[in-house]
Amino acid sequence: MVHRSQRIGPSPVTRTIATVLTLTVALLAATLAVPAPAAAAPPLPDDTGVDATSRYRALEPCRLADTRNGTGFVAVDDRTSRVDLQRCEIPSTATAIVATTTIVNATRGGWLVAYPSGTARPDAATLNWSAGMTRGNSATIAAGDDFAIELFRSDGAGNGHVVIDVVGAFVPAETSARGRFVAADDGTRLLDTRDASAAPTRPTTHRVGLPESVPAGVDALAVTFTLVDTTAPTYLTAYAAGGERPLASVLNADGAGQFRSAATIVPVSDDGFDVFVSAGSHVVIDMTGWFTGPSADVSADGLFVAIAPQRLRDTRSEPQALYDGGSTEILPPADLIGDGSTGPAALAFSMTMVGADDRGYVTAYAARTERPAIASGYSLRNQVTAQFALTPVSEFGLAFFTEQGTDVTVDLLGWFTGPPATATETEPAPNPQRPLRVLAVGDSTMAGVRWYRALGALTGASWTFAGESCRRLVRWSCNGREDRTPPTALRTIETMPDVFDVLVMMTGYNDRANTFEADLERIMAAARAQGIRRVVWLSYSREFRSDKGGPGASQVYEFHNVLLRAAAERHDDLVVAEWATVARNRPEWVHYDGIHFTDDGAYGNADFMSRAVAHATGQPCPLPYTVGGELTEVCADPGTVPSPDVRSLYGFVDTVTQCWEVGPSRTVECVQDPYTY
């Protein structure tokens, strides 16, 4: 059983943290198979690809490389491969290509990034996947000086196969009539088969005509395809209307009941383009712009500047994610897009949705303009989903709206010249705040908060409390003083039906030293799989003065702490809250064993956990340290500052009575604290 504590006291957020966040640098966090960038985005080096303007040239979709038959890939090392671009009729002067990269039948999770050959590997991702998946994502990829690209795979070769299909290229141009990108004033939905009837059950080809907003004679459209409620594994191919269907794919789904989306550039004829779906599925197609044809005016607007991938934003390193129904803004720095004299009018980028609260969509659009009624990508609960996009920008940059809460990473691939869209709003779209959702999992130490009725001291968040006597991390729990055997911490985390932002751990006093490190790693993996963004783990009291746990138990807990602190150095999403320091400095908070709480300690521990969560997420403390005191912008680490007088702060009455929930029926029995007998 778990206990939910409603937030009391001051609001946990006293300032608007994520309503508008203007980018300066991007930060860390390797969770869920998204690569961890360096602590700060470095200045753009000189060798990151082409900085000259270029126009788009549509190509017949063509398979550039395929590890299944050994085509196209040349190993550089055990994780990096080189792909020569002298195939598929790619112009020899091309500065970048537009291609879809697909992982086929992956056996374990991972990610890859494509970038110019001969340059440093960027801290970015082109594609992400989990075990058993077939996934694809498109991208603009700048060519290296040797007219090649490189692919780095986080897991190396041998984990599924990789396929690259090219659909177009960018060639140098200072001005041009043809191949310039024009952003649509509003995103346009071209097709939604859900408006017609049931999903097809066999291979189907859809003819998609050009909308009235697109002038005659264009070369290609920038579109997003979505497969909705697939009935079987399927793939989607798009090509100019009336042409021969190529051996290439834009989008893949590896099972029934899936939502999958991908954006790309599709060549068109006067009749539009054809979309082939290999198995039953509804299809939704949205357009964000087009590329001009030979009859257009000559201009320097709409030309493309390719760069190597550069991370613009990673909300996992920020105090708040994008909440359901919320938006945030990104303004790329001048060293990536110039001084603004020639643009950008639009950006090419890859966004990755990480650990979404539920299935939903994300829309990218010009900041402080009206949000279009289209989707830029679809997120899935607790999954990592990468999505390519070509999106107009305003002078305030990009805005991202999410139907369901999610973290996002955004990697810039290039930009288009021309004037930005005109902002129609003076303020950024809101990101409605909600309390953090915190799951606290503990053993008989943490359970003291419940026994002494101190749950009201859990503040600043929406708390789900699961403190149980005799709980262990992974190994089967023992039978506790409340006469039942609780599920392990691992099982508790894995079976929680709700979504949480933060996990607080105070379990491990019943666990062995020789398994602690492995158990900790399993807890971290389970937390990430559940979409938890931060784990706050309380260090273990070392002032152990009884024989509980056998001789040397204090050394065991000291060893636990050594391993715990080392793990925090490896995991950016793990924060150690130094409860051991507090317990040493406040001996009246713990009993003679140095571990279990007194009534003061129960309130003190709840207060400590509340402040530790606020500190780890960059928020103000939920309560001041003294009655009537002031709150700082970010809560101080509670393990490094004097603890508050919890009696005056919470006004509780001195008691030596504990109330237990006994047996499977959880009958409440209040007894004298056994440590005071």
Quote the tokens at residue 3: 């206990």
Give the model's pLDDT for residue 16. Answer: 26
Q: Is the per-residue pLDDT at 490 higher than 60?
A: yes
Model confidence band, residue 10 (pLDDT cutoffs 50, 70, 90): very low
Higher pLDDT: 155 or 344? It is 344
Q: What is the pLDDT of residues 595-624, one digit of tens each?
A: 999 999 999 999 999 999 999 988 899 999
pLDDT exceeding 70 applies to what percent of the chain?
87
Q: Which residues pair with 439 in a beta bridge?
A: 464, 503
Domains observed in the chain: 3-12+434-676 (3.40.50.1110), 53-416 (no CATH)
Q: Which of 159-168, 549-558, 604-613, 644-653 is most confident?
A: 604-613
Mean per-residue pLDDT, 241-251: 90
Q: What is the rounded average pLDDT of the residues 635-659?
A: 89
Q: Where residue 51 falls among pLDDT bands split at 50, 70, 90? A: low
CA distances to 130, 227, 320 from 231, rounded to whole Å, are: 21, 10, 36
pLDDT tens-digit readout, 216-233: 999 999 999 999 888 889
The confidence band for 149, taking pLDDT boundaries of 50, 70 and 90, is very high
Q: In this model, does residue 341 exceed pLDDT 80? A: no
Mean pLDDT computed over 471-493: 94
Which bin fits 520, alpha (ψ -120 to 50), beta or left (φ > 0)? alpha
Give dist(CA 9, CA 273) in Å, integer. 59
DSSP state letters, 323-335: PTTEEEEE---HH
| Position 125 pLDDT exceeds 50 | yes
Q: Judging by beta carbons within 10 Å of its beta carbon (0-12, 13-18, 19+), is residue 666 exposed, middle or buried?
A: exposed
| pLDDT at site 531 | 83
Residues 429-442: what's their mean pLDDT? 86
Out of 242-251, 371-380, 629-638, least confident range: 371-380
Q: pLDDT digit string (tens) for 175-205?
A: 999 999 999 877 789 999 987 766 677 889 9
Residue 377 has a pLDDT of: 82
Mean pLDDT lowest for which of 48-62, 313-327, 350-364, 542-556? 542-556
How high is the mean pLDDT of the chain?
85
Check: CB of residue 364 under 8 Å from CB of residue 400: yes
Report pLDDT for 320. 63
Average pLDDT (569-575) is 93
- Top pLDDT among 668 and 22 is at 668
Nearest of 276, 272, 274, 266 to residue 223 by alpha carbon: 266
pLDDT of residue 20: 31
What's the pLDDT at 230? 87
Asked whether the predicted pLDDT for residue 50 surpasses 70, the reply is: no
- Give the CA-trace dihedral at 577, 581, 587, 588, to 10 degrees: -30
Q: What is the pLDDT of residues 525-534, one digit of tens each?
A: 999 888 888 9
Side chain identity at 399, as an amino acid letter? A
**Is the model's pLDDT at 42 over the cut of 90?**
no
* Mean pLDDT value across residues 69-80: 91
User: What is the pLDDT at residue 372?
Assistant: 87
Handedness of CA 301, 375, 111, 59 (dihedral sign): negative
470 touches 429 (CB < 8 A): no
Taking only the tens place, the pLDDT of each residue in 538-556 is 999 864 444 444 445 557 8
**Which pLDDT score, from 0 to 100, does residue 600 have?**
94
- Identify which has the larger pLDDT, 56 or 429: 56
Please choose, from the candidates 265, 261, 241, 245, the residue with its C-alpha nearest in 3D space to the C-alpha of residue 253.
261
**What number is the average pLDDT over the span 121-125?**
93
**Residue 395 half-sphere exposure toward CB, CA atoms < 13 A:** 9
Give the pLDDT score at 330. 78
At 657-667, the pLDDT tens digits run 888 888 888 88
**114-122: average pLDDT:** 96
Lowest mean pLDDT across 38-47, 160-169, 363-372, 377-386: 38-47
* Confidence label for 38 from pLDDT (cuts 50, 70 and 90): very low
Q: What mean pLDDT comes out for the span 11-35?
A: 29
Structure confidence at residue 579 as a pLDDT band (50, 70, 90): very high
Across 644-659, average pLDDT: 85
Mean pLDDT of 475-492: 94
